[in-house]
Amino acid sequence: MTELLFRTDPYLQEAEARVIAVTPEGGIIVDRSIFYPTGGGQPGDSGWLSWGAARIDIATAVKGEGGTVVLVPAEAGALPDVGAVVTQTLDWARRHRHMRVHTALHLLSVVIPLPVTGGQIGAEKGRLDFSMPEPPEDIAALESALNAMIARDLVVTEDWITDAELEASPGLVKTMSVKPPIGQGRVRLIRIGAGSDQVDLQPCGGTHVARTGEIGRVSLGKIENKGKQNRRVSLLLES
């Protein structure tokens, strides 16, 4: 398995790792990764690897077999040998924007308390699809409520519960299309706010900012009709 360094410290921008395998397609499997692999609507991280005088750009990261993370080179080139120690460096600006968008989408699910049927995270914007028969009457009011919640600078923390505890609390799961991974014995929760200031708690494996104030102001796009019951709400980072 690959040790998920981004899980314990999403702000880690550089770290050493050892190459434990190279896939037939040229993907690089490392023993510890600061690169988040594509999943849960969040894109895989990009950046580069360096060893000695060599360097290779990484276009994305994906999940491999057996709990590994595979780093996908941007183009064909010389690869590090199995056993080599490499330095991983993130495209931090892109990752941090993913973190800001991801946390903002969690807050969007608070402002619009309806079942989520899909979602996607990008570096400039993100979106959630809701089971929403009728569009909201006042988008400006939703945008104002969302930005007010962001401006409260709420702390963002993680917690863990067992599979059994999750099954006993189905209300924690907001997404209808993607179920939290179970079978590992425990499930990670992302909590926004603490104590009486808590506004959200839901299963999530992605990376988030430490406080909502890091998100900055966001704007909401027009509501798109995506079927009889589904409507898409997009948000855009303003800076």
Per-residue pLDDT reduced to its tens digit, 200-210:
999 899 999 99
Cα separation, 138 vs 108, whole angstroms: 14
Decide if pLDDT at 172 tops 80.
no
What pLDDT is attached to residue 182? 54
- Regarding whether 162 and 83 lie in a shared domain, the answer is no
Cα separation, 121 vs 47, whole angstroms: 18
Cα separation, 176 vs 97, whole angstroms: 25
Cα separation, 102 vs 206, whole angstroms: 8
Q: How many C-alpha atoms does 222 have within 13 Å on its Cβ side?
A: 2
What pLDDT is attached to residue 200? 95
What pLDDT is attached to residue 160? 87
What pLDDT is attached to residue 176? 47
What pLDDT is attached to residue 57? 98
Cα separation, 189 vs 162, whole angstroms: 10
- Regarding whether 220 and 144 lie in a shared domain, the answer is yes
Please state which of the ranges 20-24, 28-32, 120-124, 220-224 shows the lowest mean pLDDT: 220-224
pLDDT tens figures, 58-103:
999 999 999 999 999 999 889 999 999 999 999 999 999 999 999 9
- Regarding whether 226 and 149 lie in a shared domain, the answer is yes
Decide if pLDDT at 179 tops 60.
no
Number of domains present in the structure of the chain: 2
What pLDDT is attached to residue 180? 58
Angle between helices 92-111 and 139-151 (to 10 degrees): 120
Q: Is the CB of residue 61 less than 8 Å from the CB of residue 70?
A: yes
What pLDDT is attached to residue 228? 80
Q: Is the CB of residue 70 less than 8 Å from the CB of residue 41?
A: no
Residue 192, domain CATH: 3.30.980.10
pLDDT tens figures, 120-139:
999 999 999 999 988 888 99
User: In this structure, how many other beta carbons lie within 10 angstroms of the beta carbon of residue 88?
Assistant: 25
- Regarding whether 204 and 128 lie in a shared domain, the answer is yes
Q: Which domain holds residue 125?
A: 95-237
Of the residues 40, 68, 90, the one at which a domain ends: 90
